[in-house]
A and B are shown apart, each in its own frame.
Chain A
């Protein structure tokens, strides 16, 4: 038999629209068969059919087929002249089988069921969008600075794009919720005046509904394309892509299970079992990818190759003299760029010759097969790893942004987070603006004799093809360099970074 699939979506305020549309399809020779990510029709002789679409509040959004309660309800409706066709979520579709079929619900009852279902849907969407926005931006705004003393994620294009998208989704959900209440009020007046309910939405409601559908669909497709394209092209942000893949894996898994459920239409219990299994699969996948990354993903390949191969503008040897034979070229680089600005960060490790071997030997001894440890021995061993007393560790990060408000935000978050995590008291915080000849500069003693942190801010004047920018330099050194930089070292930084 010829079948037709139509991916149309209606909301709970559009029951009469859906019923009319199904009737028109029947008139064109398409008989509604069942829901399936839209509507599935069977070819038939064109005939006049009357449909009635009800909202059944006992069902949930996850009910993909008629439940026992739906079938009970349908038995009453059948006695009244309505045959159950199918149900999905809270929608229940009936076809009239007798000319004298009695209306299933009164207009007032229909209004309350439609409004009730749509309100649940809109409030749920609003809360979910709000939570997603708070979690994603909450991480950047609250936690990230404290953990890393870095503004890398503020200038991450993915974070920004996704954050803006989440905000727009939240805004749209809010409008949709407001529209639902306005619709209810207007329809109540309509029933009062005419005694009838026309369960449809106006132009504004349709626009909001379509924007919502497009936004969610676009978000999922964009993320899928981004992830797959980065992995296929072996883009330098490969590991970053995998991280986002992991973050979105639960969403893909759940939607994948929902899609599969749409085809089989299992019972509520079977469906819940599948969702739980999908969740467990996601946990396993996250663990699996984390294992892979911990073994193979030591280096950050987030940069385009040319940037990765360029040595940091300031090396350790620019600041201090290294007299022994050691690798002074070992560094990691992070680069991010979005509409808010750019950030580039260097981390340079200069261990003492032989230290890495000593560290490796220490780890091997701890994990040597056949070696047995008492709890006390193991704790003692773990608490006394080799210490590289002559090692040098330097990291510095330069952000540039044309927006003063972004610069202020980054500056305030960096400094306040560092003050909170540092053990420096008031004497350990110094204003070094004069030494750096900067707009603002602060030195912070790090705790546990781990060197210090510099936060330096400059206003870079506008140039021929560039607007005025604010530059924020963060320097952190753990040891090997004197606790504070001298004038020569400061001059080196300024000269080599163009400040």
Chain B
């Protein structure tokens, strides 16, 4: 199952999935991630190239169309569920951190 392989999403994985909430061309994902993270997170093309087939193979994203070498992807329901789970986990972490650090 996809959840076992991507038990915890790394930062690049998280932002790639965020970028694919809307249909996006593979090569444009890097720019989307940079924009979403306001320049804080940079995903390299090699990292992205390796990650997209893994996501697709796990059913987290799906290819919507292809024109020549350009492929468009969008997140699936399964992927969205994973993203929500990760968001919830990170939110709890942030909440716990706030309780401790901010009193």
Q: Which chain A residue shows the least CB distance to B34?
A: A102
- Residue B97 at the chain A interface, CB threshold 8 Å: no
In the complex, the answer to whether B44 meets A106 with C-beta atoms within 8 Å is yes
In the complex, what distance in Å separates the CA atom of A106 from the CA atom of B70?
Answer: 23
Query: Is A109 a contact partner of B49 (Cβ separation < 8 A)?
Result: no
Q: Is A109 a contact of B46 with CB atoms below 8 Å?
A: yes
Q: Once the chains bind, are B44 and A105 in contact (CB under 8 Å)?
A: yes
Q: Does A80 contact B (CB under 8 A)?
A: yes
In the complex, the answer to whether A75 meets B47 with C-beta atoms within 8 Å is no
Residues of chain B lying within 8 A (CB to CB) of residue A401 = none
Chain A residue, CB-CB nearest to B50: A109
Partner of B30, one of A54, A71, A73, A102: A102
The answer for the CA separation of A79 and B28 in the assembled complex, in Å, is 8
Q: How far is the CB of B37 from chain A (nearest CB, A)?
A: 13
Interface string of B16-47 (1 = CB under 8 A from A): 00000000001110110000000000111111
How far does the alpha carbon of A82 sit from the alpha carbon of B42 in the complex, in Å? Answer: 15
- Digitize B44-59: 1 where CB-to-A-CB distance is under 8 Å, 0 elsewhere: 1111111000000000
Tell me the complex Cα distance, A349–B30, Å.
Answer: 84
Residues of A within 8 A of B42 (CB): 102-103
Q: Does B69 contact A104, Cβ atoms closer than 8 Å? A: no
Tally of B interface residues using CB under 8 Å: 16
Q: Does chain B have a CB within 8 A of A85?
A: no
Minimum C-beta distance from A433 to chain B (A): 73
Query: Does the CB pair B49–A106 fall under 8 Å?
Result: no
User: Closest chain B residue to A82 by CB distance?
Assistant: B45
Distance of B73 from chain A, by nearest CB (Å): 13
A75 in contact with B44 (CB, 8 Å): no
In the complex, the answer to whether B27 meets A79 with C-beta atoms within 8 Å is yes
Q: Is the CB of A106 within 8 A of B30?
A: no
Given contacts A71-B69, A76-B49, whether A104 and B44 have CB atoms under 8 Å apart is yes
B46 touches A54 (CB 8 A): yes
**Bound Cα distance from A174 to B30, whole angstroms:** 42
Q: Is the CB of B70 within 8 A of A75?
A: yes
Does A72 touch B at the CB level, under 8 Å? Answer: yes
A429 on the B face (CB < 8 A): no
Q: Is A77 an interface residue (CB 8 A)?
A: yes
**CB distance B46 to A72 under 8 Å?**
no
Instruction: List the B residue with the shortest CB-CB distance to A68.
Output: B69
Q: Which residues of B contact A73 (CB under 8 A)?
A: 45-46, 49
B interface residue numbers (CB < 8 A to A) = 26-28, 30-31, 42-50, 69-70
What are 29 A-B contacts with C-beta separation under 8 Å? A54-B46, A71-B69, A72-B49, A72-B69, A73-B45, A73-B46, A76-B26, A76-B27, A76-B30, A76-B46, A76-B48, A76-B49, A77-B45, A77-B46, A78-B27, A79-B27, A79-B30, A79-B31, A80-B30, A80-B44, A102-B30, A102-B43, A102-B45, A105-B44, A105-B47, A106-B44, A106-B47, A109-B46, A109-B47
Interface residues of A (CB under 8 A from B): 54, 71-73, 75-80, 82, 102-106, 109
Instruction: Give the 4 A-B CB pairs with smallest separation, nearest first.
Output: A76-B45, A105-B46, A79-B27, A80-B45
